[in-house]
A = this chain, B = another copy of it.
């Protein structure tokens, strides 16, 4: 998916934000240095797995000395592209979409929802948070003029693929999809599905033998 660093498995990339979160917590708890053993306990991973994951990006710790939490955090934020602002737009301002816009967890992490769209004429022009809901026809203009990289999809399942196609046509490169579908996107576009059912279904694999 990533032409610049083809050697990094996606599963490693998916774990890096967990490292960032755990390291941020450890830093808040007053720690300066952490061993791969301690980090592994926090994340339910083996120290070897953590060392191997980080080895894709260089050397971060000295043998037997552990990692400097501050340095490792800075490096991981750089690697993940978390050092600047990312602009997102949201499509679908129903109950879920409005909850997403009002969610306070995005902004502190550098993600800003700068525009909201809806296909319903009843919704266009209404206010959601600080945003006025725009018609879908404004999408290409806003994406390009405002510099939007990420599209958040909060429409019903039946409309999700159409909306995602339009986001991609407008130049969006990342899709955060809340609709319960497995969407198709062309190569070069990254999709992340937020779907509690998928999470539960991969959990029951481990629980089924205890039932």
**A residues bordering B, Cβ < 8 Å?**
1-4, 11, 13-14, 16-18, 20-22, 25, 41-44, 79-82, 84, 86, 88, 95-96, 99-100, 103, 105-106, 109, 111, 149-150, 173-174, 176, 180-182, 184-185, 187, 190-194, 196-211
Integer count of this chain's copies in the complex: 2
- Do A205 and B80 touch across chains, with their CB atoms under 8 A apart? yes
With a cutoff of 8 Å between Cβ atoms, the chain B residues found around residue A11 in the complex are 11
Most chain B beta-carbon contacts within 10 A, residue among A79, A203, A208, A210: A203
Q: How far is the CB of A39 from chain B (nearest CB, A)?
A: 10
Q: Which of B20, B22, B192, B206 contacts A1 (CB 8 A)?
A: B206
With a cutoff of 8 Å between Cβ atoms, the chain B residues found around residue A181 in the complex are 21, 25
- Do A208 and B95 touch across chains, with their CB atoms under 8 A apart? no
- Do B197 and A105 touch across chains, with their CB atoms under 8 A apart? yes
Q: A2-B205, A194-B196 are in contact. List 20 more A-B contacts (CB 8 A).
A: A13-B205, A16-B201, A20-B201, A21-B182, A22-B182, A44-B185, A44-B191, A82-B204, A86-B200, A86-B207, A96-B99, A149-B210, A150-B200, A173-B206, A174-B206, A176-B200, A192-B199, A192-B200, A193-B199, A194-B194
